[in-house]
Homo-oligomer: A and B are copies of this chain.
Amino acid sequence: MRSKAAVGLLALGLGVLAQEGFPYPEGFRFWTHVKSMEIQRGHPLYEAFGGLHHIYANPQALAGYLSGKRAFPEGSVIVFDLLEARAEGQALVEGPRKLIGVMVKDSRRYPETEGWGYYAFGADGKPLAIDPKACHACHQGAANTDFVFSAFRP
């Protein structure tokens, strides 16, 4: 009986965990490509984000990028798709994925980080443990564009 109860509690715990998390943003490669950048050795963010990244916006986030206000509507999801940057002759080509970062706008759910949830997933699609408050602290640098650093490149 005890072990059954433990399994039950474990299942409940996992259920709660799944509800608190955010699902892998399936299909983001078919969202709109916003812009790209390579972070190179020597850059302050190299350890965390070295490589070639692309930014993708779901339809709500795209509306935010395209609006004059640069305020992102509820439901906006922005993906930071980080790939290895590989040298191939005199060219830089895309290597395997390192991780993806995700920003989600839900003002009721993420009041402590001013409306944005932050998540990350490994190349295998599994969630990575991150501190959303640390993410948001860095994104204060883009406070005047609703904490989003990137701008849509027409």
Contacts and interface: CB of A to CB of B under 8 A. Distances in A.
Question: In which size bucket is the chain A interface?
Answer: 20 to 34
A57 to B, nearest CB: 10
This protein's copies in its complex: 2
B154 A37 contact: no
A64 to B, nearest CB: 15
Interface string A54-84: 1010000000000000000000000000010
Interface in A19-47: 29-30, 32-33, 35-43, 46
Contacts of A153: 29, 83, 94
A36 B33 CA distance: 11
Interface stretch (A4-12, A85-93, A103-111, A130-138): A85-93
A151 B90 CA distance: 20
Contact of A36 (B29, B39, B52, B154): B52
